[in-house]
């Protein structure tokens, strides 16, 4: 099994390299190290979000509210900064990460305590969170001149030659990797998704594990909210609208099974990078940005079809209902 | 007490009388809610009870309800289709394209129905042909179909639909009864009969309750599901004809987020999101309730995005309340 997963990741690396190579054939400037670093930096936010979505999908759930959570947290960060420019930026970040975690925990509680299907919960909270931004801001924009310089400068600040934004995503990848491979909670994510009934018998609280996955995805969405708003220096109701699809696409491309239990941090990162390369290459090879939505849709469908073929080798529980807990 | 523990599932000799079951059903609860909302609305705004005003109010739900009927069958069979709003967009774009090529109303209708059917076929083939999970496939086709409209239209819009095309969204069959309302009534009857009175309908329930058992008892699971997605595509195509005709223009962002409202309508109508149970009359009542509530909010000048908060909260609480209710009853019983 491990070999198979490895193969898949190597396959993805090849696909990304081939993609970059094809683009470089016509536009050699694309493979310049500085440009590749720029592409990575541009994909950083997607990587951070995909890590959270991966944890949720591993437990057989889904989080459609991540982009709305990002927008709400980002708006709150911008509003705090606009109203109290003196508040230190790390404190603002901590606040929105906590806010994001709370918003995620609402999803988690509804899934855990009330047994509502995750897709319904997060479809509902998606609209509620987006609507809340409107209630908070009255539909107004917060523009660059209302934000303090320190607020806008952080993601761009250079550290050892790379922007802080890139470094933050690297830190997030390492942290989530350690969580997934070195802690009980991380292993529980896999166990719950692989076989919830078996997980119960090994003493894992399935609901609580799902709750924790939602808290993680919420906290990461909160962090991404600050990064998004400070990077693009604008906050309004519709920022990152529809981005939840890109996040899920990144996970599906990265080989994370929507049926739960299968996936890896490496897969999530590579899936994000694959989308990131496509997104950055479109303007270079002169394809209209309007085509991007259709391309991510096609990629999702192809990726899920490929996933289904590799997953078919697994044994399947036929009588799920009969094994009721 | 001990006896009940030994045999927790006592089957009564006689089922309880029909009237008490009717009173306790989800549909009668919905009916009460619908009447309450109707009464509240007529108190809140003096303009509400005007027949033409009520007729206008129906436009709030007729198009979505057309899709909700087919979606109810899909959800009862244990699947979901999140791509319906994007099918509306692609269908509308295809009709707009046909207009620029000089197509007249009958051709436009054919193009609309054909595009809807085609989109449904794509979903159905991916889900039943390749055996992929419907939620991911329709998330994918949701961006694919709308993405195609964006590629074709960009930031432009199609207008200039022929005058006769306006009938589907703006015409009246008789007095205050619009074409859309008539279509809503006819579809409700057709889908009600299909689900509740035919073998096909029974097999939809069977699949939703236990797909494997249905397969072993001779239900052609794949074919039934394929037909359901085809039907959903067709209904989305019909809804797109109505909506495009009512608006008189097409933009790629048309009907954005409608899939959420359709799913909410179906779930509010008492269809279990896990599949296996639900009725068409329930969906009809839910359509009325959602239409009346949003229209009432509109009369009170509540902005659209605030209404969407309400829809989202409604979706969650409609599922949460029965669960809380049954838990409270179980606790009382102990």
ipTM comes to 0.79
DSSP-derived letter for residue A32 is S
> For position A317, what pLDDT does the model report?
54
Question: Chain A: nearest CA to B159, how far in angstroms?
Answer: 20
- How far is C-alpha A237 from the geometric centre of its chain's CA atoms? 19
Mean residue pLDDT across chain B: 87
Asked if residues A278 and A295 have their Cβ atoms less than 8 Å apart, the reply is yes
Report if residue A6 sits inside a domain: yes
Question: Chain A: nearest CA to B122, how far in angstroms?
Answer: 11
Asked if residues A97 and A223 have their Cβ atoms less than 8 Å apart, the reply is yes
Q: Does A11 touch chain B (CB under 8 A)?
A: no
> For position B3, what pLDDT does the model report?
39
- Whether residues B309 and A132 touch (CB distance < 8 A) is answered with yes
Residues of chain A with pLDDT under 70: 1-7, 310-325
DSSP-derived letter for residue A235 is B
**The domain containing residue A204 runs over which residues?**
2-23+37-312
> Cβ contacts (< 8 Å) between B273 and chain A: which residues?
117, 119-120
φ, ψ (nearest 5 deg) of residue B253: -90, 15
Q: What is the CATH number of the domain that holds A13?
A: 1.10.3470
Please give the angle made by the CA atoms of B30, B33 and B39, to the nearest 5 degrees. 145
- Checking A182-187 for CB contacts under 8 A at 24+ apart, the result is A185/A209, A185/A212
The total number of structural domains in chain B stands at: 1
Report if residue A318 sits inside a domain: no
A106 to chain B: closest CA residue: B316
Average pLDDT over residues B141-163: 90
Report if residue A13 sits inside a domain: yes
| Total residue count of chain A as it appears in this document | 325
Q: Is the pLDDT of residue B303 over 70?
A: yes
- Whether residues B312 and A288 touch (CB distance < 8 A) is answered with no
Place of tokens 């909160």: A222
B255 band by pLDDT with thresholds 50, 70 and 90: confident
Report if residue B1 sits inside a domain: no
Q: Is the pLDDT of residue B187 over 90?
A: yes
* C-alpha to C-alpha distances, A201 to A196, A197, A198, A323, nearest whole angstrom: 9, 7, 5, 12
> For position B7, what pLDDT does the model report?
44
* pTM, entire model: 0.84
Q: What is the CATH number of the domain that holds B64?
A: 1.10.3470
Facing B148 at nearest CB: one of A128, A131, A294: A294
Structure tokens at B89: 């967009």
Q: Does A242 touch chain B (CB under 8 A)?
A: yes
Report if residue A324 sits inside a domain: no
Q: How far is residue A250's CA from residue B220's CA, in Å, rounded to a whole number?
A: 34
A126 to chain B: closest CA residue: B312
- Whether residues A123 and B312 touch (CB distance < 8 A) is answered with yes
Report if residue B195 sits inside a domain: yes
**pLDDT digits over B43-73, tens only?**
877 777 888 888 888 888 999 999 999 999 9
- Whether residues B139 and A125 touch (CB distance < 8 A) is answered with no
Estimate the share of chain B in helix, then strand, then coil, as percent rounded to the nearest 5: 75, 0, 25
**Which one, of A235, A212, A237, lies nearest residue A129 by Cα?**
A237
Structure tokens at B218: 């001779």
- How far is C-alpha B252 from the geometric centre of its chain's CA atoms? 21
B123 band by pLDDT with thresholds 50, 70 and 90: very high
**The domain containing residue B212 runs over which residues?**
56-321
> For position B138, what pLDDT does the model report?
92
Report if residue A30 sits inside a domain: no
**Which one, of A232, A198, A192, lies nearest residue A212 by Cα?**
A192
> For position A156, what pLDDT does the model report?
87
> Cβ contacts (< 8 Å) between B263 and chain A: which residues?
120, 123
Report if residue A306 sits inside a domain: yes
Q: Does B316 touch chain A (CB under 8 A)?
A: yes
Q: Is the pLDDT of residue B246 over 90?
A: yes
The total number of structural domains in chain A stands at: 1
């Amino acid at each position: 099994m491990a070999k198979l997963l490895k193969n898949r990741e190597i396959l993805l690396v090849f696909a990304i390299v081939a993609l970059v190579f094809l683009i470089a054939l016509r536009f050699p400037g694309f493979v310049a190290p500085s440009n590749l670093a720029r592409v990575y930096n541009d994909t950083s936010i997607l990587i951070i979000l995909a890590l959270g979505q991966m944890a949720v999908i591993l437990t057989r759930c889904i989080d459609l509210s991540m982009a709305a959570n990002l927008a709400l947290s980002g708006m709150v960060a911008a509003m705090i900064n606009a109203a109290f420019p003196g508040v230190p930026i790390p404190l603002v970040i901590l606040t929105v990460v906590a806010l994001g975690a709370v918003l995620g925990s609402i999803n988690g509680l509804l899934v855990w305590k009330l047994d509502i299907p995750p897709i319904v919960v997060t479809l509902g909270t998606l609209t509620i969170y987006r609507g809340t931004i409107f209630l908070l801001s009255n539909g107004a924009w917060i523009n660059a001149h209302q934000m303090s310089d320190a607020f806008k400068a952080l993601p761009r600040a250079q550290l050892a030659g790379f922007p802080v934004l890139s470094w933050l995503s690297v830190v997030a990848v390492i942290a989530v990797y350690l969580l997934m491979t070195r802690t009980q909670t991380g292993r529980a994510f896999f166990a719950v998704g692989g076989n919830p009934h078996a997980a119960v018998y090994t003493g894992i609280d399935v609901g609580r594990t799902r709750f924790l996955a939602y808290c993680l995805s919420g906290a990461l969405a909160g962090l991404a909210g600050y990064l998004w708003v400070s990077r693009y220096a604008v906050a309004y109701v519709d920022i990152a609208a529809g981005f939840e699809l890109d996040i899920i696409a990144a996970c599906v491309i990265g080989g994370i099974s929507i049926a739960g239990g299968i996936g890896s941090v490496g897969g999530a990162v590579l899936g994000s990078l694959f989308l990131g390369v496509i997104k950055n290459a479109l303007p270079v090879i002169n394809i209209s940005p309007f085509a991007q939505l259709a391309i991510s849709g096609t990629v999702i469908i192809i990726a899920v079809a490929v996933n289904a073929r590799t997953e078919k080798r697994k044994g399947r529980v036929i009588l799920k209902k009969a094994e009721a807990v | 007490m001990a006896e009940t523990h030994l045999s927790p599932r006592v089957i009564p000799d006689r089922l309880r009388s029909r009237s008490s079951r009717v009173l306790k059903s989800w549909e009668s609860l919905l009916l009460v809610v619908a009447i309450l909302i109707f009464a509240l609305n007529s108190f809140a705004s003096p303009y509400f009870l005007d027949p033409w005003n009520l007729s206008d109010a129906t436009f709030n739900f007729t198009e979505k309800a057309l899709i909700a009927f087919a979606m109810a069958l899909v959800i009862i069979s244990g699947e979901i289709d999140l791509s319906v709003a994007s099918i509306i967009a692609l269908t509308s774009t295809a009709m707009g394209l046909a207009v620029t090529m000089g197509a007249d109303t009958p051709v436009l209708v054919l193009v609309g129905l054909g595009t809807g059917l085609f989109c449904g076929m794509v979903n159905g083939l991916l889900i039943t042909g390749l055996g992929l999970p419907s939620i991911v496939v329709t998330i994918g086709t949701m961006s694919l179909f709308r993405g195609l409209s964006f590629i074709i239209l960009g930031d432009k819009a199609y207008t200039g639909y022929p005058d006769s095309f306006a009938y589907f969204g703006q015409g009246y069959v008789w007095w205050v009864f619009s074409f859309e309302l008539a279509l809503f009534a006819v579809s409700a009857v057709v889908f009600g009969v299909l689900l509740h009175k035919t073998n096909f309908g029974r097999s939809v329930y069977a699949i939703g309750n236990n797909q494997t058992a249905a397969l072993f008892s001779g239900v052609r699971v794949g074919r039934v599901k394929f037909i359901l997605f085809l039907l959903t595509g067709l209904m989305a195509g019909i809804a797109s004809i109505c909506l495009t005709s009512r608006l008189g223009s097409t933009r790629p962002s048309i009907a954005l987020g409608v899939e959420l409202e359709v799913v909410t309508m179906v779930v509010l109508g008492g269809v279990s999101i896990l599949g296996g149970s639900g009725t068409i009359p329930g969906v009809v009542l839910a359509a009325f309730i959602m239409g009346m509530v949003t229209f009432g909010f509109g009369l009170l000048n509540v902005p659209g995005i605030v209404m969407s908060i309400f829809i989202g909260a409604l979706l969650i609480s409609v599922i949460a309340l029965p669960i809380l209710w049954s838990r409270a009853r179980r606790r009382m019983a102990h």
